[in-house]
């Protein structure tokens, strides 16, 4: 059964007007421009951002029937989204006239209320087939499926969002039905409803994508979530993903030959893929102007006071790379609480402003982003006590050189003997008051950088991820939210790191 209808974006309205009768003399080529995992509105080092993406879309629309597909993860995480909860993203996408979008897990970062507010502001079709309200109903301003006809070719769309959203975001009581089972059922239903090609716009892990392909749950699968740059075709189903931040843009041209003879319809089709490096594209001036207006607002918002520190904070290089620091405790405690981990570890080298804040200082958003400028995200790992101790040994191995790996921690008391050789310096570790158990597994909040083995923390690379980088929020945004809610903070040195 076809889902309830809603107005199409202008792009699809124009395409639908091109529809002709069922007998086709010539093959039809339909172009899909895909993006996914794009939360950064501006370009970076001459690549990515909405203005360059918009230029690609405009160029393709000028050539012929084109559908702009967005595979989710967009309203978060970014600097401005931490302030306005993604209002600017939906505004930009409205102006870019998205043809079909499905939500990603990051659309739920700020809770179900914000999800509903942002989706409610969308003037483009949001298609979701496995997200349901607690009472089983379709979320407002979304459709379960959509059939669009372009030059006599019927395209049936459905959308999926990873069930992991329940764990990695804050969806409340929102229901996420099985992606694979929903996809298989929707593929069959849309074909039965007359779709010539079934198009799955999904935000799911690669393992789910491949299952959809193997089960032929769609003819075209446009995916997000893993942030891979990917094109694949097995002769029956095509699968693509466009990396992240529109730095690369996958364009899929599908040529369809549909013929009717003696009451029978035959259909053949073939995809052709093109990967466009956004560095080669001149930004669309209209969208570039919109992005700049929001960047100007961000600059003003960054100067806003968020709270007061009742204790002195010291982010000078020698402090954060050589001893327990109150600001390090603030960051580590915030990370730990943000993902509900038992312990947290943050490298002092990621604290960068190199300044002192006297007691009574009024802190601004700009202060926090100056302290944490790298865009690090808070991830949640599962580590053994043995691995945690090895991580701490690495952290204290180059204290004399003021190396950035020096650990600022939460939930831990670590006794260190710097007279010992590197790798043998950690004398004892308490985890929330209890001795570290080498065999026990602990949940650890840390940054995506350290989780990938950065700054010498190679022991963390193989740890199981409970909150992976693709699901994580900015550390700086979490700290800003904490200070804003608390209004006053009083972090201090507490004896978490003890030198003998």
Is residue 1 situated within a structural domain? no
Q: What is the mean pLDDT of residues 361-385?
A: 95
Instruction: Check whether residue 325 and residue 442 sit in a common domain.
Output: yes
**In the predicted structure, residue 230 carries a pLDDT above the cut 80:** yes
Instruction: Check whether residue 150 and residue 255 sit in a common domain.
Output: yes
Residues in the chain: 500
Q: Is the dihedral of CA 324, 328, 334, 337 positive or negative?
A: negative
pLDDT at 271: 98
**In the predicted structure, residue 282 carries a pLDDT above the cut 80:** yes
> For residue range 412-449, what is the model confidence (pLDDT) as tens digits?
999 999 999 999 999 999 999 999 999 999 999 999 99
Is residue 5 situated within a structural domain? no
Instruction: Check whether residue 61 and residue 163 sit in a common domain.
Output: yes
Instruction: Check whether residue 283 and residue 331 sit in a common domain.
Output: no
Per-residue pLDDT band at 25 (split at 50, 70, 90): low
Instruction: Check whether residue 266 and residue 392 sit in a common domain.
Output: no
Is residue 404 situated within a structural domain? yes
Residue linked to tokens 């043995």 = 386
Q: Which domain holds residue 166?
A: 10-298
CATH number of the domain where residue 76 is located: 3.60.21.10
Residue ending a domain, among 234, 263, 298, is 298
Per-residue pLDDT band at 17 (split at 50, 70, 90): very low
Instruction: Check whether residue 385 and residue 417 sit in a common domain.
Output: yes
Residue 451, SS3 per DSSP? helix
Tell me how many domains the chain contains.
2
Mean pLDDT over each residue of the chain, to the nearest integer:
93
Per-residue pLDDT band at 265 (split at 50, 70, 90): confident
Is residue 286 situated within a structural domain? yes
Instruction: Check whether residue 86 and residue 213 sit in a common domain.
Output: yes
* Structure-block tokens of residue 68: 């702009």
State the CB neighbour count (10 A cutoff) for residue 494. Answer: 10
pLDDT at 169: 87
> For residue range 381-395, what is the model confidence (pLDDT) as tens digits?
999 999 999 999 999
Return the half-sphere exposure (C-beta side, CA atoms, 13 A cut-off) of residue 46. Answer: 4
Instruction: Check whether residue 131 and residue 261 sit in a common domain.
Output: yes
Residue ending a domain, among 298, 327, 353, is 298
Residue ending a domain, among 242, 274, 298, is 298
Is residue 54 situated within a structural domain? yes
Contacts 24+ apart (CB under 8 A), 423-429: 423/393, 423/397, 424/393, 425/393, 425/396, 425/397, 426/389, 426/392, 426/393, 426/396, 427/500, 429/385, 429/388, 429/389, 429/392
pLDDT at 3: 34
* Structure-block tokens of residue 112: 């179900």
Instruction: Check whether residue 257 and residue 371 sit in a common domain.
Output: no
Distance CA 339, CA 474 (A): 12
Instruction: Check whether residue 390 and residue 247 sit in a common domain.
Output: no
Question: pTM value?
Answer: 0.81
Instruction: Check whether residue 456 and residue 425 sit in a common domain.
Output: yes
| Residue scoring higher pLDDT (138 or 9) | 138
State the CB neighbour count (10 A cutoff) for residue 99. Answer: 27
Is residue 4 situated within a structural domain? no
pLDDT at 167: 81
Is residue 3 situated within a structural domain? no
CATH number of the domain where residue 465 is located: 3.90.780.10
Nearest to 240 by CA among 215, 213, 270: 213
> For residue range 301-341, what is the model confidence (pLDDT) as tens digits?
999 999 999 999 999 999 999 999 999 999 999 999 999 99
What percentage of the chain carries pLDDT values higher than 90?
Answer: 90
Nearest to 331 by CA among 309, 359, 300, 358: 309
Is residue 435 situated within a structural domain? yes
Per-residue pLDDT band at 286 (split at 50, 70, 90): very high
Instruction: Check whether residue 324 and residue 409 sit in a common domain.
Output: yes
What percentage of the chain carries pLDDT values higher than 70?
Answer: 95
């Amino acid at each position: 059964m076809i889902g309830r209808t809603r107005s199409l974006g202008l792009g699809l309205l124009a395409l639908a007007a091109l529809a002709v009768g069922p007998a086709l003399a010539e093959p039809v080529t339909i172009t899909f421009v895909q993006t996914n995992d794009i939360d950064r509105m501006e370009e970076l080092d001459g690549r990515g951002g909405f203005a360059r993406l918009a230029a690609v879309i405009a160029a393709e629309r000028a050539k012929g029937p084109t559908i702009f597909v967005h595979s989710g993860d967009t309203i978060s995480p970014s600097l401005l989204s931490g302030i306005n909860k993604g209002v600017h993203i939906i505004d930009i996408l409205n102006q870019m006239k998205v043809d079909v979008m499905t939500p990603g897990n990051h659309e739920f970062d700020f809770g179900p209320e914000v999800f509903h507010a942002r989706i409610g502001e969308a003037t483009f079709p949001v298609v979701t087939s496995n997200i349901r309200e607690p009472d089983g109903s379709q979320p407002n301003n979304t459709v379960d499926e959509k059939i669009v006809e372009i030059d006599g070719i019927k395209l049936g769309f459905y959308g999926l969002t990873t069930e992991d959203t329940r764990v990695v975001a804050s969806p409340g009581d929102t229901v996420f039905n099985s992606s694979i089972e929903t996809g298989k059922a929707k593929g069959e239903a849309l074909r039965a409803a007359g779709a010539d090609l079934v198009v799955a716009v999904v935000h799911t892990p690669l393992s789910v994508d491949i299952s959809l392909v193997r089960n032929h749950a769609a003819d075209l699968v446009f995916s997000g979530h893993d942030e891979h740059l990917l094109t694949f075709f097995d002769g029956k189903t095509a699968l693509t993903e466009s990396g992240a931040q529109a730095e690369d843009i996958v364009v899929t041209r599908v040529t369809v030959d549909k013929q009717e003879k003696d009451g029978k319809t035959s259909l053949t089709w073939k995809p052709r893929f093109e990967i466009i490096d956004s560095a080669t594209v001149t930004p669309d001036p209209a969208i570039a102007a919109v992005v700049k207006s929001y960047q100007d607002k961000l600059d003003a918002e960054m100067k806003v006071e968020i709270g007061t520190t009742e204790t002195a904070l010291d982010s000078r290089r020698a402090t954060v790379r050589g001893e327990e620091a109150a600001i390090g405790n603030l960051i580590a405690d915030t990370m730990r609480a943000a993902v509900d981990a038992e312990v947290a570890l943050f490298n002092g080298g990621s604290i960068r402003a190199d300044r002192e804040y006297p007691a009574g200082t009024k802190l601004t958003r700009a202060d926090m982003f100056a302290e944490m400028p790298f865009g690090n995200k808070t991830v949640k790992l599962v580590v053994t006590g043995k691995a945690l101790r090895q991580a701490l040994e690495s952290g204290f191995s180059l204290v004399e050189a003021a190396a950035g790996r020096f650990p600022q921690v939460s939930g831990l008391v670590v006794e260190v003997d710097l007279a010992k050789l590197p790798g043998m310096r950690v004398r004892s570790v308490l985890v929330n008051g209890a001795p570290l158990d080498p065999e026990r597994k602990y949940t650890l909040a840390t940054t995506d950088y350290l989780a990938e083995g950065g700054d010498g923390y190679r022991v963390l690379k193989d740890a199981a991820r409970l909150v992976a980088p693709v699901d994580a929020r900015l550390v700086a945004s979490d700290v800003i939210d904490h200070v804003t809610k608390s209004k006053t903070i009083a972090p201090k040195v507490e004896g978490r790191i003890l030198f003998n």
